[in-house]
C-alpha cells in the first residue's frame, strides 16, 4: 500500500510538471494565434476543426479500452496478453483511421459547405483547414496504443516530456505565423497537422524501443478483438455522445451567432480544459492503481482511493478556480489583449462546471475498472442528447448564448448523480460515506475560504500585484482549512512529519 501511494505521488508530480509547463506554453500560444489570425479566423479554425473531432469520436473509446486491458493484464503479469492487446489495438486503430477519413471526406465536407455559418470569402480557407484537421485526427489515432502502453507502465516522465515537446513545437509554429504574409489560417492548419504527425512517430519509436510487448504481431485469435470491441463498443456510444455534445454546442453557436461566438467559446473552453487537467492529472496518476485494486479484489482500498480522489480533485480546483473566477476580467485582458465578446461570462460558467466535473472523474475511472460500462453509457448518452436538443430549442426561441453553457453545467451535475447511483447498485459506492468523508468537509472548506478571499479581492485596483495577493490569500486560507477540516488525524501527522523532514 505504501509503495502504491508513493507511485501515485511520483506520477502526480510528473503530470503536474507536465501540466504547468504546457499551461504556460499553451496560454502564450493562444495569445499569438488569436492575434495573428484575428477573432473571425480563430473562430473558424476552432469550429471547423471541431467538425473533424466529431468524426473522431471513436478515439476516446479505443483509448479507454486499450488502457483498461493493458492495466489489467500488467497487474496480472500476463505479458503475452499485453502483446495481444497492443497488436489488436494497432489493427483497430488502422480501421478507425480509415472510417474517420471516409466520414470526413463525405459527411464532413457536405456539412461544412451546406450548414456552417462561414463568411463567403473564407469558405475556401475553411475547406483547407478541414483537410489538414482530418490529417491531424487520423495521425492522433495512431498514438492511442503507444500512449496506452506508457500509462499502463506508469511512465509519466516520458509522457510528460513528449507532451511538453508537442506544446513547444505548436508555440514555435504559431510564432512563425508573424513572418508569413498570406493566408495564415491555412498555414496554421498545415503546421499543426505536421507537428502531430511528428509526435505520433516519436511515440511509436519510443515504445518499440522500450517495451518488448510493443512488437506488432497479427494475432489470429479473435477473442482479444472481441473483448476490446465489446468494451469499447458501449464506450463508443458514450464518447460519440460526448463528442456530439462538445462540438454540437459549438456548431449550434456557429449557426445562430457566427464565428465570433465560436472564438469566445474556444477561449473559455481552453481555460476549462486546463482547469480540468488539474484534477485529471491526479486521476490519471491514480487510474492504474484503481484497476489494480479491482483486478485483485481489493474493493475497500478501491473505495478509499476513490474518496481521496474526490477530495484532492476538488481541493486543487478550488485553490486555483476561486481566485481565477474573481480576477477573470483582468486575467483575460492581460492574457489575450483582444478579448472576444462574451468570453468573460462563458469562462465564469465553465469554471463552475469544472468544480462539479471534478467529482465525475473518480466515478468514471472506477466504472471503467469494472468493465461494466453498458448502462452507464446508455444513461449518459440519453442525457447528453436531451441536453443538446434543449440547447438548440432555447437558442432557436431567442435565448442568449450563455444559456448553452448553463445547460451544459446542469448536465454534468446529472451525470455525477447517475454515476453515483450506478456504482451504488454494483456495491462500490456509499452515499453515507461520501457525505461524511467528502461532501460535508468540502462544503465547510468552501464556505470558510470564500469570504476571506473575496474580501481581499475587493481591495481597490486591478493589477498583477492584486492578482498575486488574491491568489496567495486563496492558497493560504484554503490550505489552512484543508489541513484542519479536510485531513484526518493521521493525514495531519503525516503532513507535519513531511514538513519537519524538509526543514531539517
Complete DSSP assignment for 206-265: HHHHH-TT-S------SHHHHHHHHHHHHHHHHHHHHHHHHHHHHHHHHHHH-HHHHHHH
SS3 content of the chain, % helix, strand, coil (to 5): 85, 0, 15
Q: Angle CA(119)–CA(125)–CA(131) in degrees, nearest 5?
A: 125
434 touches 307 (CB < 8 A): yes
Q: Which of 439, 419, 431 is nearest to 311 (CA)?
A: 439
451 touches 315 (CB < 8 A): no
Predicted TM-score (pTM) of the model is 0.78
Please name the residues in contact with 403: beta carbons below 8 A apart, sequence gap of 6 or more.
391, 394, 395
Domain range list for the chain: 2-429, 430-504
283 touches 357 (CB < 8 A): no
361 touches 279 (CB < 8 A): yes
Terminal alpha carbon distance of the chain: 27
Taking the alpha carbons of 173, 329, 470, 312 in that order, is the dihedral positive or negative? negative
The pLDDT value recorded for residue 234 is 66
Q: Angle CA(31)–CA(36)–CA(38) in degrees, nearest 5?
A: 90
Coil, strand or helix at 411: helix
Rg (CA), the chain: 23
Instruction: Please report which helix (H) or strand (E) contains residue 488, including its range.
Output: none
Q: Which of 475, 158, 452 is nearest to 315 (CA)?
A: 475
The single-letter DSSP state of residue 401 is T
d(CA 205, CA 362): 32
The pLDDT value recorded for residue 258 is 87
The pLDDT value recorded for residue 186 is 93
Instruction: State the residue for C-alpha cell 449518459.
Output: 380
Taking the alpha carbons of 153, 283, 61, 377 in that order, is the dihedral positive or negative? positive
φ, ψ (nearest 5 deg) of residue 29: -60, -45
60 touches 242 (CB < 8 A): yes
The CB density around residue 427, as the number of other CB atoms within 10 Å, is 9
**356-366: b (≥16 Cβ within 10 Å) or e:** bbbbbbbbbbb
295 touches 75 (CB < 8 A): yes
The pLDDT value recorded for residue 75 is 75
Q: Which of 358, 356, 349 is nearest to 403 (CA)?
A: 349
61 touches 239 (CB < 8 A): yes
φ, ψ (nearest 5 deg) of residue 142: -75, -10
The pLDDT value recorded for residue 58 is 63
Q: Which of 233, 229, 232, 238 is nearest to 376 (CA)?
A: 238
Q: Angle CA(103)–CA(136)–CA(28) in degrees, nearest 5?
A: 135
d(CA 381, CA 441): 32
Coil, strand or helix at 154: coil
C-alpha 248: how far from its chain's center? 17
Per-residue pLDDT of the chain in tens (504 residues, 90 and over written 9): 455 556 666 666 766 677 778 778 888 888 899 989 998 999 999 888 888 877 666 666 677 777 778 877 877 777 788 888 888 888 888 888 898 899 889 999 999 999 888 999 999 999 999 999 999 999 988 888 888 888 878 787 888 889 889 999 999 988 889 888 788 999 999 999 999 999 999 999 999 998 888 888 877 777 777 777 776 666 677 777 777 887 889 899 999 998 889 999 989 998 888 888 777 777 777 787 888 888 888 889 899 999 989 998 898 889 888 999 999 999 998 888 888 888 999 999 999 999 999 999 899 889 888 878 778 888 888 888 899 999 999 999 999 999 999 999 999 999 899 999 999 998 899 999 999 999 999 999 999 999 989 998 888 877 889 899 999 999 999 999 988 888 878 878 877 887 776 655
Phi-psi region of 64 (alpha: psi -120 to 50; beta: other; left: phi over 0): alpha
d(CA 56, CA 244): 10
Distances (CA, A) of 38 to 34, 256, 490: 5, 20, 54
C-alpha 313: how far from its chain's center? 13
87 touches 218 (CB < 8 A): yes
72 touches 113 (CB < 8 A): no
Amino acid at each position: 500500500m505504501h509503495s502504491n501511494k508513493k507511485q501515485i505521488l511520483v506520477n502526480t508530480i510528473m503530470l503536474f510538471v507536465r501540466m504547468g509547463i504546457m499551461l504556460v506554453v499553451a496560454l502564450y500560444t493562444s495569445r499569438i494565434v488569436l492575434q495573428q489570425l484575428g477573432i473571425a479566423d480563430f473562430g473558424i479554425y476552432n469550429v471547423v476543426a471541431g467538425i473533424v473531432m466529431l468524426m473522431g469520436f471513436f478515439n476516446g473509446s479505443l483509448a479507454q479500452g486499450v488502457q483498461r486491458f493493458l492495466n489489467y493484464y500488467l497487474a496480472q503479469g500476463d505479458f503475452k496478453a499485453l502483446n495481444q492487446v497492443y497488436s489488436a489495438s494497432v489493427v483497430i486503430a488502422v480501421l478507425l483511421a480509415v472510417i474517420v477519413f471516409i466520414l470526413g471526406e463525405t459527411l464532413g465536407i457536405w456539412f461544412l459547405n451546406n450548414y456552417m455559418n462561414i463568411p463567403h470569402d473564407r469558405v475556401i480557407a475553411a475547406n483547407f483547414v478541414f483537410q489538414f484537421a482530418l490529417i491531424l485526427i487520423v495521425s492522433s489515432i495512431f498514438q492511442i496504443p503507444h500512449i496506452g502502453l506508457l500509462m499502463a507502465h506508469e511512465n509519466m516522465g516520458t509522457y510528460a516530456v513528449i507532451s511538453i515537446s508537442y506544446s513547444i513545437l505548436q508555440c514555435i509554429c504559431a510564432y512563425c505565423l508573424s513572418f508569413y504574409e498570406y493566408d495564415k489560417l491555412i498555414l496554421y492548419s498545415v503546421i499543426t497537422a505536421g507537428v502531430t504527425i511528428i509526435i505520433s512517430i516519436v511515440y511509436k519509436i519510443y515504445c518499440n524501443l522500450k517495451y518488448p510487448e510493443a512488437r506488432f504481431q497479427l494475432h489470429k485469435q479473435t477473442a482479444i478483438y472481441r473483448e476490446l470491441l465489446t468494451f469499447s463498443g458501449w464506450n463508443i456510444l458514450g464518447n460519440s455522445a460526448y463528442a456530439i455534445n462538445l462540438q454540437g454546442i459549438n456548431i449550434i453557436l456557429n449557426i445562430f451567432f457566427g464565428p465570433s461566438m465560436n472564438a469566445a467559446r474556444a477561449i473559455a473552453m481552453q481555460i476549462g480544459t486546463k482547469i480540468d487537467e488539474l484534477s485529471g492529472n491526479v486521476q490519471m496518476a491514480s487510474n492504474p492503481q484503481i484497476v489494480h485494486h479491482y483486478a485483485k479484489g481489493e474493493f475497500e482500498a478501491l473505495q478509499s482511493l476513490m474518496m481521496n480522489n474526490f477530495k484532492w480533485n476538488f481541493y486543487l480546483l478550488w485553490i486555483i478556480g476561486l481566485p481565477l473566477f474573481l480576477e477573470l476580467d483582468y486575467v483575460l485582458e492581460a492574457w489575450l489583449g483582444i478579448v472576444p465578446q462574451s468570453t468573460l461570462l462563458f469562462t465564469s460558467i465553465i469554471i463552475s462546471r469544472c468544480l462539479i466535473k471534478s467529482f465525475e472523474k473518480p466515478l468514471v475511472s472506477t466504472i471503467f475498472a469494472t468493465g461494466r460500462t453498458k448502462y452507464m453509457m446508455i444513461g449518459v448518452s440519453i442525457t447528453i442528447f436531451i441536453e443538446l436538443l434543449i440547447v438548440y430549442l432555447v437558442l432557436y426561441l431567442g435565448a442568449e448564448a450563455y444559456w448553452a453553457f448553463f445547460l451544459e453545467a446542469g448536465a454534468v451535475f446529472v451525470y455525477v448523480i447517475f454515476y453515483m447511483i450506478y456504482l451504488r447498485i454494483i456495491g462500490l459506492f456509499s452515499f453515507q460515506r461520501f457525505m461524511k468523508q467528502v461532501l460535508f468537509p468540502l462544503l465547510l472548506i468552501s464556505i470558510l475560504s470564500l469570504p476571506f478571499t473575496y474580501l481581499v479581492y475587493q481591495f481597490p485596483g486591478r493589477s498583477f500585484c492584486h492578482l498575486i495577493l488574491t491568489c496567495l490569500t486563496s492558497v493560504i486560507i484554503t490550505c489552512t482549512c484543508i489541513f484542519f477540516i479536510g485531513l484526518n488525524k493521521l493525514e495531519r501527522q503525516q503532513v507535519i512529519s513531511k514538513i519537519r523532514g524538509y526543514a531539517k
